Amino acid sequence: MEKYVFTNADRCHALKCLDLMDIKDCFQGVICFESIMETAHEMGISHHNKPVICKPNRMAFEIALSQAGGASAATTAFFDDSTRNIASAHHIGLFSVLVGRTGVDCASHIQMESMLSLPSHLPWLLQVVDDTALEESNNSVEDGVLAVEKA
């Protein structure tokens, strides 16, 4: 299963955060503001005549899926701490997991307090998740994570 960080931050910031948490090797890549904007520009896409495309915009998710090797929403899980981002991902068909809060009025498949809850909520991901990396990451998901199951 391939995993990507999907962030509205720039690549440098994302890589710095992953390095600080010592989890950069857990991901196949970073889908960031620059990569989304580059693809949007190449495709001539804008949002309300503005050149910025980012989460929770549906187009940002569609571009991210294409950058994750042409992943399908139906075979992709998305983890985030933002209810707006999770609701948008859920609406377009991604398996959506709100991390950091539970009992929130938010369209999502699962809500869990921290990534440490992952084994009990999504045991099918256990084969690919390193529990040590989760503990060292401070149990948070400040940027989205796309977990892509290739069909």
- Torsion-angle region of 52 (φ positive above 0: left; ψ -120 to 50: alpha; else: beta): beta
Predicted confidence at residue 115, as pLDDT, reads: 87
Structure confidence at residue 67 as a pLDDT band (50, 70, 90):
very high
Higher pLDDT: 140 or 66? It is 66
Alpha helices in 56-149 (DSSP H): 58-67, 83-91, 118-121, 131-136
pLDDT one-digit tens code per residue, 108-151:
999 999 988 888 988 877 664 444 444 444 444 556 666 665 43
Distance of CA 94 to the CA centre of its chain: 10
Question: 2-6 and 95-99 as β-strands: parallel, antiparallel, unpaired?
Answer: unpaired
Predicted confidence at residue 45, as pLDDT, reads: 83
> How many other CB atoms sit within 10 Å of the CB of residue 82?
20
Pairwise CA distance, residues 85 & 88, whole Å: 5
pLDDT one-digit tens code per residue, 3-37:
999 999 999 999 999 999 899 998 999 999 999 99
- Inter-residue contact 75 to 1 (CB < 8 Å): no
Predicted confidence at residue 18, as pLDDT, reads: 92
pLDDT one-digit tens code per residue, 68-121:
999 999 999 999 999 999 999 999 999 999 999 999 999 999 999 998 888 898
User: Domain 2-148: which CATH class?
Assistant: alpha beta
Pairwise CA distance, residues 147 & 27, whole Å: 9
From the number of C-beta atoms within 10 Å of its C-beta (0-12, 13-18, 19+), residue 80 rates as buried
Sign of the Cα torsion 100, 125, 57, 18 reads positive
Predicted confidence at residue 151, as pLDDT, reads: 38
Across residues 63-68, what is the average pLDDT? 96
Pairwise CA distance, residues 41 & 76, whole Å: 25
